[in-house]
Amino acid sequence: MDLSNTVAIITGAAGNLGAAVAARFRSAGARIALVDHSPDRLARSHEAGPDCLLLGGVDLTAEDNVQGMAAAARDHFGRIDALVHTVGGFRGGTPVEDEPLSTWDRLMTVNLHTTVLACRAVLPSMRDQGGGAIVTVSAGAALSAPAGLAAYSAAKAAVLRLTESLAAEVKAQGIRVNSVLPSTIDTPQNRQAMPDADPSAWVRPGEIADVIAFLVSDAGRAVTGAAIPVTGGGAGRRAG
């Protein structure tokens, strides 16, 4: 998957998944604009350079911040070929009748609203240059919601429906929009939160990054409007 002709914005780049996507894209030759709310975490996670623009302190819930992010990337690289939006939030374990509305509002804001704003910010550039690729991050829970995850599942389902509708709207303009749906991601935080679980059944950030790279690359040029479950290799996966 050669991304040497690709300029990509990756949000949440200091997080586990965002950092894995950034590493995968760099190894494939992409020029990348890495975005995160925390400039300190971003600087600790990545090294800036001619092919790597660090955009820290970006509030992706604020439209002016998101528009400024896209403008900075476009000014630096001259174009925007791809957006990978990894930003989101999780909270669960509370029944519907007990879940505060503030939790519903918060999960819709960090999952759905940030996705809407990020997509809208890059679309004019992609339209002007005749194409592009957007990858959103939903979740397996968007397809089948377990007990106690109603608010989270609803927010991720909204991201999925947004992805499908946007893909239909911009397909004729050469812009592809797809979503990945990970199961539980193997991160230090999840291992700490679920010490009795078996992480070999989880999906690794690098595995998700590989799928995202495919969707952005020319190899994925015929794929749009897709919801792709990414659940890991399980017992059949090589160790290491």
Residue type at position 39? P
Q: Which residues contact 13 (CB under 8 A, 6 or more apart)?
A: 19, 21, 22, 34, 35, 36, 42, 45, 46, 86
Catalytic-labelled residue, pool 25, 77, 152, 202:
152
Check if 152 is active-site: yes
Neighbours of 161 (CB within 10 A): 14
Concatenate the DSSP letters of all residues of the chain into one string: ---TT-EEEEESTTSHHHHHHHHHHHHTT-EEEEEES-HHHHHHH---BTTEEEEES--TTSHHHHHHHHHHHHHHHS---EEEE----------TTTS-HHHHHHHIIIIIIHHHHHHHHHHHHHHHHT-EEEEEE--GGGTSPPTT-HHHHHHHHHHHHHHHHHHHHHGGGTEEEEEEEE-SB--HHHHHH-TTS-GGGSBPHHHHHHHHHHHHSGGGTT--S-EEEE---GGGSPP-
Indicate which residues carry an active-site annotation: 152
